[in-house]
Amino acid sequence: MNNGLAMIGGGVLAVIFAIGIISALSAQQPSTASKRSVDTVENAISSIGDTSFTTVDGKTISLADYRGKKPVILDFFATWCPNCRRNAPHLSELYKKYTDKIEVIGINLQEDPSVVRKFASDYSLAFPIALDPSGDVARQFDVRYTNMHVLIAVDGAIIRTIPGDIQESDIRSLIQ
C-alpha cells in the first residue's frame, strides 16, 4: 500500500515538474513569436516587389507593376469560407468604386482553379483572382486563415493586415 502511494506521489511530482518546465518555456515564447512575426513582415516587405501571381485566366501579375502607381489590397480567401462569400461582393463593389485609386487582387488559398473560376463568376467579381496552390504566397504574407486582407501602400510597404471583412474606410485610409 505504501509503495502505491509513493508511486502516485512521485507521479504527481513529475506532472508538477513538467507543468513548471512547460510554463517556463511558454513564458519565453511570446518574445520569440513576436520576433518571428516581425521577421516575417520584414521579409515580406523586402521581397514584395518580387511577388507575382498566376491568375485563374493564366495571366501573370506582379506587385511590382503597381509600385509607385497605386496601393494594393490582397484578399486571401477560399470559396468554402462563409465570411469570404459574404465579403466578396462587397469588396468587388468597392473595387469598382475605387478602381482608379487602388488595385485588389484576390488570392485563392489552395483550391482547384475550376472551383475558383465558378466562384468568381457566381459572385461577379470585378478584380483579378490569383491562385496560391501551394500556400507559398500565404506564408510569405504570414496569412494563416481565410478572409484576411493585406494592405500595401503605393511604395510597396505593407501598411497593415485586416482580418475579416474590409470596410470602405480601410480603403479610404489606404489612398489618402
Tell me the three-class secondary structure of the chain, residue by residue. Answer: CHHHHHHHHHHHHHHHHHHHHHHHHHHHHHHHHHHHHHHHHHHHHHHHHHCEEEECCCCEEEHHHCCCCCCEEEEEECCCCHHHHHHHHHHHHHHHHHCCCCEEEEEEECCCHHHHHHHHHHCCCCCCEEEECCCHHHHHCCCCCCCEEEEECCCCCEEEEEECCCCHHHHHHHHC
pLDDT band at 32, cuts 50/70/90?
A: very low
pLDDT at residue 30 tops 90: no
For residues 128-143, give the mean pLDDT: 95
Query: Burial, 120: exposed, middle or buried (Cβ in 10 Å; 0-12, 13-18, 19+)?
Result: buried
pLDDT at residue 165 tops 50: yes
User: 51-175, what's its fold?
Assistant: Glutaredoxin (3.40.30)
User: What was the pLDDT predicted at 124?
Assistant: 96
Q: What is the mean pLDDT of the chain?
A: 81
**Which residue carries 506587385 as its cell?**
63
For residues 117-132, give the mean pLDDT: 97
pLDDT at residue 19 tops 60: no
